[in-house]
Every structure is written in structure tokens, then in C-alpha cells.
Amino acid sequence: MRKIEVRPVSSALGAEISGVDLSRSLDEATVNQLKDAFHQHLVLFFHDQDLSPGQFLEFAGYFGEVIPYPMVKGLDDYPDIVPILKLPDETVNFGGIWHTDTAYLDVPPMASLLIARELPPVGWGDTLWSNMYLAYETLSDGMKRTLDGMTAVNSSTKGEAAATREDRRKTAAKNDVGEAPEAVHPVVRTHPVTGRKALYVNSGHTTRFSGMTEGESAPVLEYLFAHQIRPEFTCRFAWRPSDIAFWDNRATQHLPLNDYHGYKRLLHRITLAGDKPV
């Protein structure tokens, strides 16, 4: 067995992985090394992994149960793989706001994976991730006491996030979980593997604190939304064709940049089943 190489990309989170060919079946020891790196760094990046859809699904399956995305249809032959697509005549990119994937579900996903299929000649649409452990741990003791035990409402219809899905939903809409899924989750969740606390609100989906109006909630939420994406909590990934990113939705947020107007960009996404936040 060859030990994989793990190279951190920032002090906050993220690591590039080398020394493994994901087109081949992985042995248990290699999978365990990748799981350890995943829990330590929260986002893993793999370069030059030219996987077929079937191989991409096989790799994802080592880490959890593959589940469908509720809002947009997947590929015809691989319905659990969703195209993350922006066409040359479109100006809004899919998911183009800081968010945690589908936090509006009662049981949000554990992780997501992306593979780059077609990138524009300029811009490329780099993606940023932010560490929600650090976002929680750097709050004042008073704010931690206030937030611990609180819950918040997360909705699929929150304006800016919903708008980023509209181009795809015009031709590939689906509603496996209803027209407007909504879920209540702890504002601070405990990671089921590491036991660390993470701030679990996000500007894409969180609308208000439970038992409070949106107006009453807004001042604190706006502070938290700004705090949790401070540059020192983040890493940035510059995509190349056949690159893969694999991230932990329970302790990160991400933002795909929209800097390639007039060009097509296509990635494929897989989602892994998670657990109910506590």
C-alpha cells in the first residue's frame, strides 16, 4: 500500500490529495486514510481524475449513501449525478451565494462531491470554502452562550439562493420533497464524528431564529453571516478539467465565483446522505 500525500492548501481548511488513482477500486486502508484527511481538513481536492460517471459514483460510495438532489433532475443514465451548469447566455451561476447544501431538509447531506467536466477559457469559476468550526470557536463567550441551544428556520425559498436555481429549473425542475421544503435546525451543531461544534446558519437558507420574526432575527443573523466567511476561515480552489472537490457539509460553507460570463461551465455533483443535526 502506498501512503497518499495530503498537502494543506490553507491554515483554515482544505487539502490537496495525491498518490491515489480514483479510477481504480480503493482498498480499505486507502479509504480510511482519505476519511481521516476529510475529517481533519473538511475539503479534499484531487487533480487529474478523469472518471466516468460510474467511476465517480463508485468513489463517492466509499464514503456514504448517494442520494438525489431534490430540486433539479440528474443525468438521464445517472439520475443521482446532477449537472451544475451555466450556459453562455446566462448571468447567474447555480448556487452562487455562500451556503451549506440543502440545509432546508430535515436531514441535510453529509457531504457533496464535484468533478469538473467543462471549464471556460477565462475565469474558471473558482470555489471558496469556509470553516464553520472556526466561525463558532472565534465568537465571544457571550455570543456562544446566546446561540447554544437556539434553533433557526431554513427555507428553500429564500430569495437570493432560490434565484440561483431558476435557470436550471426552467428545463430540469423536480420537487421530490415538495414545493417549498423548510427545516428547523440547531444554530450550533455538534459534528457526529469529531465532536466539535460548528456554526450552522447560512445566508443562502436561514431566514430567522425559531420563535422570532425575520425582522427581530436579522441583526444577529447578518452579523453571523458576515463573521462566518471572514477570509482567515477560508480556502480557495482553482479548478482544472477532471478535478474533484469533496467537502463536509456539516462544518463548511462554500461559494462558487461567477467570473466567466459568456462561456459554458459544467461540473457534475453527487450528494451523500447525512444525519439530523444536533
Question: pLDDT tens, 3-19?
Answer: 799 999 999 999 999 99
Instruction: Please give the residue range of the domain that contains residue 116.
Output: 5-272
CA distance 18 to 273: 26
CA distance 108 to 110: 7
191 is catalytic: no
158 domain-assigned: yes
State the total domains in the chain. 1
186 domain-assigned: yes
99 is catalytic: yes
Tens-digit pLDDT profile for residues 29-64: 999 999 999 999 999 999 999 999 999 999 999 999
Q: What is the pLDDT of residue 241?
A: 96
Tens-digit pLDDT profile for residues 141-199: 999 999 999 999 999 888 565 555 554 445 555 555 455 689 999 999 999 999 999 99
CA distance 244 to 124: 14
- Specify whether the CB–CB gap between 259 and 121 falls below 8 A: no
47 is catalytic: no
277 domain-assigned: no
205 is catalytic: no
- Active-site residue identified among 41, 165, 254, 268: 254
This prediction's pTM:
0.92
> What is the average pLDDT value for the chain, to the nearest integer?
92
- One-letter amino acid of 30: T
Q: What is the CATH number of the domain that holds 156?
A: 3.60.130.10
278 domain-assigned: no
- Active-site residue identified among 41, 99, 191, 250: 99
